[in-house]
Amino acid sequence: MPETLRFEPTMVCENKTARQLYDAVKANPARAKFGFGSKLAVVNLDLQQAYTRPDLFPKTSYVTHPDQLALINEISALARARSMPVIWTHVAYKPDAGDAGVWGTRTNTPDSLQNIKYDSERHKFDPRVEMDETVDLIFTKRMPSAFFETQLASYLVWHKVDTVLVTGGSTSGCVRATVVDSLAHGYRTIVAEECVADKHESYHYANLTDMQLKYADVITAAEVMAWLKAR
């Protein structure tokens, strides 16, 4: 091997915001898509009060699109009416937070992740979400991905799903982690743009860009609903 082989950085640097970069990727007519398969599952991540109610928990909640929950409800109802699975997750930990693992060691304040306790106000789903507990799968997860140490993978196999739609929050956290795992499990993966949220515009759009380029189709809620209505 050449002893002096050395390269200068090739990372692109440009004076654009994360949102501008996302808009440029979205506007590219040559952008390839995974597309929909034949059966979709809706995976709604952590629409619990800790993250959706800035009136109650301003330090941890986030609102990116004002109609996020209404759109999620509409998409979920359309999927449910077509016998396509709807899944809802939320996060909580046992009293000593021992099941949060290393993720719960960086901070320890009343607002910290590991201090979301079972059946607390932070753990409860936002009252605006419309679940059907007779048919929907509802579970508490402990880590970012909805696939990690949960029944989700086997549930999707049983229901013969080939496409996973991810909604909820945060875009840079649990949404991204679930999207990456969804692709790794072999699913066509879709994110409805108006149906995911984050604390900061930069995190939100940077991760939408990354998912769009690598792991998922990021499309509008209207496109998702049009596909469902055509089934």
**34-90+119-229 homologous superfamily:** Isochorismatase-like (3.40.50.850)
Q: Give residue-wise pLDDT tens across range 8-38.
A: 999 999 999 999 999 999 998 888 899 999 9
The whole-number pLDDT of residue 171 equals 98
pLDDT at 128 over 70: yes
pLDDT of residue 55: 98
For residue 6, pLDDT over 80 is answered with yes
Residue 4: predicted pLDDT: 86
pLDDT of residue 1: 59
What does the alpha-carbon distance between residue 172 and residue 22 come to, in Å, rounded to a whole number?
Answer: 14
Given a cut of 80, is residue 155 above it in pLDDT?
Answer: yes
Give yes or no for residue 196 having a pLDDT over 70: yes
Instruction: Show me where the domains of the chain are located.
Output: 34-90+119-229
What is the side-by-side order of every strand in the sheet holding 86-91? Answer: 137-141, 86-91, 40-45, 163-169, 188-197, 217-219
The answer to whether 195 and 72 have CB atoms below 8 angstroms apart is yes
Whether 114 has a pLDDT exceeding 90, the answer reads yes
Q: What is the mean pLDDT of residues 188-199?
A: 98
- What pLDDT was estimated at residue 3? 77
